[in-house]
Structure 1
Amino acid sequence: MKRLLFLLLCVMVLSACSKGEKKVENDFPLHMEVGDFTGVNQDGKKVSYSDLKGKVWVVDFMFTNCDTVCSPMTANMAELQRKLTDEDIDAHLVSFSIDPENDQPGVLKEYASGVGANFSNWDLVTGYKQEFIESFANKSFMAAAAKLEGSNQFVHSTSFYLVDEKGIVLQKYEGVSEPPYEQIVKDIKSLQ
């Protein structure tokens, strides 16, 4: 009986000690490597994978002519940006347009300005071929991205993705309806 109590006490102490530790990659459900990309942001400045190395970033996929989910997702990304700023958390936001033909830099800037975006740590990226972004979303994020036949609309993921400083996708979150802001902030803090 004493031995059982001792073991139980050891387990409780060890579990209590581990709660204060930082999360490591293995604590997250995903482990996908982001592929290389090059595009331009809302200011027409080059943005590439190498520019984000060493940073924690949150990614989504959107397009400005979207009839449904992109507007709330973009507003939610802006809200996440405000929460990160309030917590003094250094993280970068990246929104990849899945309609690069229409979403030129000025169009993206006007669109995100409408939700109060701060462009100091948020890049809305375009400037690549349609085939590239569809393949990139699928291979790097296991996310759908495809033009609907006979329409100006696209099928795409509605998640926010957490990427660590090594370019590994670690977690995805609901991006449209009630994003888990507190959990996203907590997870980003755990990586810093």
Structure 2
Amino acid sequence: MLAILVPLSGYLIVDHYGKNVVPIPRYYIPERVDTIVKNGKVSYDTVFHTIRDFHMTNQLGQKVSLKDLNDKVLVVDFFFTSCPSICPTLTKNLRLLQSAYVKNDTLLQILSFSVDPVRDSVDKLRKYAYDYKINPDNWWLLTGDKKEIYDLARHDFFVSVTEGDGGPDDFVHTEKIVLIDKNRNIRGYYNGLDTNDIKKLASDVATLYLEKERHRPGFLKFLKGLFSTTN
């Protein structure tokens, strides 16, 4: 029931009340303010940070990039397969989130970047995914160039306040989960070890997906996608 009620209730709330009443996840990391002149009137528009494209390899050995995920809300975390502390709990909580959207897996994409990509080979990621019953349809465990992953963590997702060169002695370890909207803006940070934060994240995913915009799906189309895999 949770798999159906979370996105459905999110749709009904957003559709009925509109974004002026329903709490919409705010934007993070403003980068500049543009001046707009139209019909002699001056207005200002804040431009927020946008996640850049990247190229990684997932647990199936597939080469993937951000461009493969158009029109999906993204949930991002950083982990490593041999982590004995926070990662097992973090992964289990994300598994609960994935289960909540199992009937509509085209809505959400979870991306887990390995912070130990040298040791976390495709085979290790695949075994880790099997052990935690991770569905690869909408959850990728990613490995790739360590410097690129660490640069993404620090300067795109902003989950670490430390600086480093991505070398052998550099290390990023965080319980933060990042919510990214369909326009690739950061819309939330959550404690991946806190089940209350995971519940809020589940609700915010639905809200962002159904956030009123020019190409927002209609209610019947949403329901069709929601129940298409129930049989």
Question: TM-score scaled by structure 2?
Answer: 0.66
What is the percentage of aligned positions where both structures have the same residue?
Answer: 31
Aligned twin of 1:169: 186
Correspondences of 1:5-154 after superposition (within 5 Å): 20-22=17-19, 27-31=25-29, 32-85=49-102, 90-127=107-144, 129-144=145-160, 154=171
* 4+ residue runs over 6 A deviation: 23-26, 145-151
C-alpha separation in 1, matches of 2:95 and 2:172: 22
Superposition deviation, residue 125 in structure 1: 0.8
SS in 2 for 1:118: coil
C-alpha separation in 2, matches of 1:147 and 1:111: 27
Q: Which has the larger radius of gyration?
A: 1
Q: Is the 8 A contact 1:64 1:108 kept in 2?
A: yes
Q: Is the 8 A contact 1:162 1:170 kept in 2?
A: yes
Say if 1:150 and 1:43 are closer, same or farther in 2 by CA, change over 3 A: closer
SS in 2 for 1:94: strand
SS in 2 for 1:79: helix
Superposition deviation, residue 67 in structure 1: 2.4
Q: Is the 8 A contact 2:157 2:186 kept in 1?
A: yes
Letter in 2 for 1:143: V
182-191 or 164-173, which moves further after superposition? Answer: 182-191
The total of aligned residue pairs comes to 174
Q: Is the 8 A contact 1:58 1:91 kept in 2?
A: yes
Q: Is the 8 A contact 2:24 2:207 kept in 1?
A: no
Superposition deviation, residue 177 in structure 1: 3.3
C-alpha separation in 2, matches of 1:92 and 1:121: 5
SS in 2 for 1:156: coil
What's the CA shift string for 1:32-78, capped at 9, x where partnerless?
A: 32122101100000110111232111110011111211111111111
Letter in 1 for 2:93: N
C-alpha separation in 1, matches of 2:57 and 2:79: 15
Aligned twin of 1:178: 195
Letter in 1 for 2:28: L
C-alpha separation in 1, matches of 2:166 and 2:90: 20
Say if 1:125 and 1:150 are closer, same or farther in 2 by CA, change over 3 A: closer
Say if 1:60 and 1:113 are closer, same or farther in 2 by CA, change over 3 A: same
Say if 1:179 and 1:69 are closer, same or farther in 2 by CA, change over 3 A: farther
Superposition deviation, residue 149 in structure 1: 9.7
Q: Is the 8 A contact 1:93 1:121 kept in 2?
A: yes
C-alpha separation in 2, matches of 1:99 and 1:55: 26
Aligned twin of 2:227: none
Q: Is the 8 A contact 1:173 1:179 kept in 2?
A: no
What's the CA shift string for 1:124-146, capped at 9, x where partnerless?
A: 1112x211111111011111286
